[in-house]
Structure 1
Amino acid sequence: MMTFRAIQISRYASRSLFLSTHAVGSAFPHAKFRLSAVPGAVFHQGGSRSFASHAPKASEILSAVYRVRLRIAQWVWYGNLLFTKLKPILLSNSGASLIGLTLGTGSNLIYASYVNCKREQGLQSALALGSVPDVEGGRVLAERKEIKEALTTLLQPASDHSQYGMVIGSQGTGKTTLVRQVAHNHAGILYVNIQPSGVTEQEFAETVAKALHFFPRSRVWFNIVLSQLGIVTHDVEDKRKYLVQVFDEFTRQAKIYRQKTNRPPVLVLDNVNRLAAGNPGLLNILQDIAKDAADDGIFITVFVASEGQAPLQILGRSAQSRLGRVIVVKDLTKEEALRYLCHQHGKHRDIAEAVYDFTGGRIAYLKSALTQLNSGIPVLGIRQQFLDTGRDVFTKAKCMPDDEFKLVAIPLARKMLLAGAISREDFEEGAGSQTTAKRLLAVNIFTLSPYSELVVFDSKPIQLVAQEVVGNAAQRRRSWLWLW
């Protein structure tokens, strides 16, 4: 019986030992595989050559490694062959141009893809939580729980909501502050603050684009060249109006947001009274866009405006539109104003009541008075400053043509002091015409609340100055009658 003895075969320097000369890759000399290169290979002497029983998977490993090396060798061989064939062409002038064209196109394609990816991320972040700018840090805001709850409901509509809304109030009542404070704590809100210089269509579109983080898609250069040659490609230049491009993009983002959250996003347009004064036609277009978007359930628009022409224009067209809830932001009540001054800012009650008497709870006036109080200015000095500002308004109103101030404004002010407020019809009747009534409203002595259709004094300081003016006019009239 033949005995076997196992020996350890060391690595061999020879490249021909155990080579398969009839392998598929034998045409590639560098692809031959040396079995002795695998450490730990154990063979039996005196029998058929095989691996020892303690390494049953060694043959599979060797086979896998061999196949990988063979495939690499094949690719290298084909690469060398291709380079050999193309080398004369590549070294020519046309070949160098082809290489530059290929590298330039590839680089441009990669850059365009990167820019468009960042663009999409920026567009989606416009509706993220906290995208609406918050009020300045460190400010102590008045506690207005009821109005904040109403704004939260308006800015977080249900999935089936199909009406746009409006927030109105006199200047200085805190509309913008309240809207930003509530909107900052919720996602799905695009806040657009219309600037005084942004009332044209192009300027307004740029304001919306800035809030949306919108800019046109980056195009690959050869598509631009083909377009110039009249060849239609999938990547064509958008030649529509910029406002149409911006709102189409916002509509696309709104649909994506609705699919993710099952509720429509909200577009807040603040200070639309600037559009009503400078570009009323654009305000009509925006109202139509708001109606269509609400009908389709894509997004909800909320108009924020001061009392005056903008609410009148929107409400005047609301019969054929989908205007829903209207939130009126009023001055603070006396209790709210005293709580704000005493509890939140630590002012004595007597001082707080004196401040309320000439500010009337207008939050902007209360903040201004607090700033001056903290600077050491006495209450009487602050009151005098507010009244001087009101007298300036009346001085400008005295320049109205045809003695309208003397013949119309003073009698209407006298009537309003007695009644507290008069209806819009009575105001226009007392003014003599709608044109004169609009001029009186424009001088900021009177203001029309469009939702209640009542005309009141624009503010508490204006009311106090009106008492002086009416009193002085009555005194002069008595003096004239006595002399006569």
Structure 2
Amino acid sequence: MVCGEHGTGKTTLTRIASSEVEHGVIYIDVPANFNKLGEAFGKAINFTFEESISFTGQLMRKILGETNTNDKLKISEWERAMDAFKRASAVYKTKHNKPPVIIYDNLSRLVHINPEILDILQDDAKDNADDRKYIAVFVSNEGDVPRRISVSANRVFGSIIYRHIYKSIFFYLARSSWLRAEEPIEIGDLSREESLNYLINKRGIKTVKEGKVDTTEAEKLFDLVGGRIVDLKSIADKYLKRIPIEVIEYKILTKVEDKFRTAKLLETHKHHEVGKRIISVLLVSKELSRIAFEKFFDKPEQAIEILGSNVFAYHPEKNTVTFQSRSVERYIQKNASIFIN
């Protein structure tokens, strides 16, 4: 599994790495519309369906035992495409002496709507990895997918620069000796040094006065969003359009406030008091074990609900919880009277 927060570059890096491998890699972008999964699968392997089949109906029959007289003899598009892929995999392995790779990107789209399908994909991947028929790579945001799959993680830390992350994924996809993978790769944020290098040297956010380089503005931008590459790019674009930093900050923190509102963490909201206690601990310790995080709540479902609101982030590599982003911390600091005792 390759996992990480939204905006860390998982999809971009995985696509680049898979395209660099000459053959043997199938990339599937799991669609937001679940009914399109079979179509996406078929498109990825250039599989042509001879007839239109209700994909959802077939999967529900497979999972829940629901039957329909007209569908009894039909096979879902997804199953048919997978069968075709497995047949091709056997030929590929014989020719190249290694199994092919199938990548499922944006797997998070499945977990809330059809988690049973995720279980099927995982079980099939495990069985075929054991038999060395094919290797499956799951790409997902941190959160429900890593928790559901329930494996320990081996994080690729944010301090590793992007080309090193890329090389790690490329090696993982291209190596000839495959093992059943049980530890995911977690793609984190860039370090402060890497982020400032991007803002100053790549985007040119600096001034020169009397022969000295002033990087104050770049440092302010980093302090606002941290090392998440998608946020760094966005904030640099806005700054270079001469939008004042104060305006940029206001818009970012307004979006963060919406996350707090969704999580019911604002003042007078349902989870405000428990949120304050968690925030107080995280401001000091920077992270909590998942068990310690869950102990703040009366019911496990409440902890899961809060994690899903993107105020806090779950990290499978150490089974810990942190603030979701630097912007979340900035919002808390700006509203210290509400969240800090």
TM class, shorter-chain normalised? Answer: 0.7 to 0.9
Q: Corresponding residue for 1:190?
A: 26
Contact 2:5 2:141 in 1 (8 A): yes
Contact 2:107 2:140 in 1 (8 A): yes
Secondary structure in 2 aligned to 1:404? coil
- In structure 2, which of residues 114, 134, 153 is the aligned counterpart of residue 279 of structure 1? 114
Identity of paired residues, percent? Answer: 33
Structure 2 residue 287 is matched with structure 1 residue 407: no
- Partners of 1:316 and 1:308 in 2: CA distance: 12
Give the stretch that moved more between structures: 207-216 or 375-384: 375-384
Displaced runs of 4 or more, over 4 A: none
Q: Cα offset for 1:417?
A: 1.2
Q: Which amino acid aligns with 1:431?
A: F
Contact 1:359 1:460 in 2 (8 A): yes
Give the superposed CA RMSD. 2.4
Q: Corresponding residue for 2:189?
A: 331
Q: Which amino acid aligns with 2:139?
A: V
Secondary structure in 1 aligned to 2:322? strand
Q: Cα offset for 1:406?
A: 2.0
- Partners of 2:285 and 2:310 in 1: CA distance: 19
Q: Corresponding residue for 1:203?
A: 36
Instruction: Identify unmatched segments of 5+ residues in structure 2.
Output: 52-72, 154-178, 207-214
Per-residue deviation, residues 343-396 of structure 1 (Å, max 9, x unmatched)? 222221322211110111011100111221222212232222211211222233
Per-residue deviation, residues 15-39 of structure 1 (Å, max 9, x unmatched)? xxxxxxxxxxxxxxxxxxxxxxxxx
- In structure 2, which of residues 69, 74, 81 is the aligned counterpart of residue 246 of structure 1? 81
Q: Cα offset for 1:473?
A: 4.8
Q: Which amino acid aligns with 1:263?
A: K
Per-residue deviation, residues 107-143 of structure 1 (Å, max 9, x unmatched)? xxxxxxxxxxxxxxxxxxxxxxxxxxxxxxxxxxxxx
- Partners of 1:359 and 1:389 in 2: CA distance: 12
Q: Cα offset for 1:416?
A: 1.2
Cα distance change of structure 1 residues 473 and 399 upon mapping to structure 2, 3 Å threshold: closer
Contact 2:259 2:310 in 1 (8 A): yes
Q: Cα offset for 1:470?
A: 4.2
Q: Which amino acid aligns with 1:188?
A: G
Higher relative contact order (CA 8 A, sep 6+): 2
- Name the TM-score, length of structure 1 as normaliser: 0.55
Q: Cα offset for 1:399?
A: 7.5
Cα distance change of structure 1 residues 259 and 428 upon mapping to structure 2, 3 Å threshold: same
Structure 2 residue 201 is matched with structure 1 residue 343: yes
Aligned residues: 285
Q: Cα offset for 1:403?
A: 4.6
Larger radius of gyration: 1
Q: Corresponding residue for 1:127?
A: none
Secondary structure in 2 aligned to 1:324? coil
Secondary structure in 2 aligned to 1:340? helix
Secondary structure in 1 aligned to 2:246? helix
Cα distance change of structure 1 residues 403 and 383 upon mapping to structure 2, 3 Å threshold: closer
Structure 2 residue 138 is matched with structure 1 residue 303: yes
Secondary structure in 1 aligned to 2:137? strand
Higher share of residues assigned helix: 1
